């Protein structure tokens, strides 16, 4: 009979691996989309829509999948989910028109909903003082984007891009089978099933009426949605801005995607130790400074001097740019963990619904931001406009957090003042 500790870590390991596999599928358009763009002659806006389409479905399905996980348990929901994802993923290899890629992409996007299942299933197995660390480890499955950056270009070069979805679909089925044999029903769900007392839908959705939930969603829109958007956009950015080939651009993008995924476990530990709100605030400041620098477009100044014209070039070379993007990725990885740690502080019994809703908003960031990137690029004709947009988003997050902290302190002062007088 397996011990409780063995079950905990086996479930966490399988959750993390399954999430990484799903995340790799969810972001594969970042690589194969470049080939599709070339074949169909798409504009930047059309490319943005293409890579963002799977993100839409993955975002919108997070809330219902989280609710289903709370009710039926993560084991069965995750298993069925992976089998369903494998079907359209395989079918993507046979599409040849833009609208077909968009429609199939919507179904492939179901892979992104895996986060809501895994986060609720993970949370059900661990004590309160270990929630941040456990959810951070699970969240490291974001490194699945790095798997795509590493593996997909190799498959494209060797066999063509249509082999990528075929390989991914087979891998998903294999992952589903392994997952089933190494996971267990969570105790809380088993007790509810035995007693027949399930959380009502009204009870699960009640916290969504609170403004706080939507504020957390805004934070996640930046730290997660911004991460997904950049994971999709950076390979194309490197190809256009620094004239790299696809394989090199994909590999160097791993400097952003891989550390950002893996550092999430450390972000959970920091949140347990120093408080999620403090960690969030530090993350926003770091991103604000880095985004300010990378937002500045490559610029050449001409100063008309006495003896002639003098040229001055201002901009970030590929090494400085990659270093700053690396720091942004690290900060976002830590922030992804701290946001969910603070959600558990307020809503420990509603991780499926509240975590799912916050995941929806964050996922919508991954959907909408690439489209906004494309529109801004087409309108302004400046590649770094994508970072200008992210700079504005993190600025709004900081303003909202500042207001919330100020109101919280004012409320605490009102509670204390009568006793002091």
pLDDT tens digits along 86-121? 999 999 999 989 999 999 999 999 998 898 898 888
Whether the per-residue pLDDT at 136 is higher than 60: the answer is yes
The rounded distance, in Å, linking the Cα atoms of 127 and 410 is 32
Q: Which residues contact 173 (CB under 8 A, 6 or more apart)?
A: 82, 83, 86
The rounded distance, in Å, linking the Cα atoms of 40 and 76 is 40
Q: Which helix (H) or strand (E) holds 378?
A: helix 351-380
- Give the residue extent of every domain in the chain: 4-189+207-412
Tokens of 325: 């993007």
Beta bridge partners of 311: 302
Residues 360-381 have a mean pLDDT of 86
Asked whether 63 and 119 are in contact (CB, 8 A), the reply is no
pLDDT for res 193: 65
Asked whether 341 and 204 are in contact (CB, 8 A), the reply is no
The model's pTM is 0.73
Residue 148: HSE in the Cβ half-sphere, 13 Å Cα cutoff: 32
pLDDT for res 5: 84
Q: Which residue has the higher pLDDT, 209 or 194?
A: 209
Whether the per-residue pLDDT at 318 is higher than 90: the answer is no
Report the DSSP pairing between strands 299-304 and 309-314: antiparallel
Q: Which residue has the tokens 């499955």?
A: 141
Tokens of 89: 């993923």
pLDDT for res 166: 95
Beta bridge partners of 30: none
Dihedral of alpha carbons 44, 49, 51, 52, sign: positive
Q: Which fold has domain 4-189+207-412?
A: Growth Hormone; Chain: A; (1.20.1250)
């Amino acid at each position: 009979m397996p011990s409780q500790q063995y079950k905990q870590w086996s479930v966490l390991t399988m959750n993390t691996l399954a999430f990484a596999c799903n995340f790799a599928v969810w972001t594969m358009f970042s690589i194969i989309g470049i080939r599709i763009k070339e074949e169909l002659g798409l504009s930047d806006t059309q490319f943005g829509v293409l890579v963002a389409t799977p993100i839409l479905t993955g975002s919108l399905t997070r809330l219902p999948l989280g609710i289903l996980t709370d009710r039926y348990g993560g084991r069965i929901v995750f298993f069925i989910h992976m089998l369903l994802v494998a079907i359209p993923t395989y079918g993507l290899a046979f599409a040849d028109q833009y609208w077909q890629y968009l429609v199939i992409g919507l179904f492939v996007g179901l892979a992104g909903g895996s986060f809501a299942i895994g986060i609720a299933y993970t949370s059900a197995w661990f004590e309160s003082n270990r929630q941040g660390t456990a959810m951070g480890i699970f969240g490291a499955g974001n490194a699945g984007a790095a798997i795509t950056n590493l593996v997909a270009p190799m498959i494209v070069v060797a066999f063509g891009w249509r082999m990528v979805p075929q390989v991914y679909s087979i891998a998903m089925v294999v992952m589903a089978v392994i997952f089933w044999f190494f996971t267990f029903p969570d105790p809380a769900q088993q007790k509810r099933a035995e007693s027949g007392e399930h959380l009502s839908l009204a009870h699960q959705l009640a916290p969504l009426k609170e403004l706080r939930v939507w504020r957390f969603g805004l934070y996640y829109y930046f730290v997660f949605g911004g991460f997904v958007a950049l994971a999709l956009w950076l390979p194309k950015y490197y190809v256009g801005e620094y004239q790299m080939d696809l394989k090199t651009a994909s590999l160097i993008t791993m400097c952003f995607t891989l550390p950002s995924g893996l550092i999430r476990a450390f972000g959970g530990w920091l949140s347990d130790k120093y408080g999620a709100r403090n960690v969030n605030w530090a993350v926003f400041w770091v991103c604000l400074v880095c985004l300010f620098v990378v937002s500045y477009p490559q610029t050449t100044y001409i100063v008309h001097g006495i003896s002639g014209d003098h040229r001055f070039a201002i901009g970030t070379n590929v090494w400085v740019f990659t270093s700053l993007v690396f720091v942004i990725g690290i900060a976002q990885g830590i922030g992804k963990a701290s946001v969910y740690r603070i959600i558990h502080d307020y809503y420990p019994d509603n991780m499926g619904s509240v975590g799912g809703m916050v995941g929806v908003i964050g996922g919508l960031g991954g959907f909408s931001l690439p489209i906004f990137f494309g529109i801004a690029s087409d309108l302004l004709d400046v590649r770094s406009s994508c970072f200008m947009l992210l700079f504005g988003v993190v600025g709004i997050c900081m303003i909202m957090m500042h207001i919330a902290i100020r109101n919280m302190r004012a409320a605490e002062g009102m509670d204390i003042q009568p006793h002091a007088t």
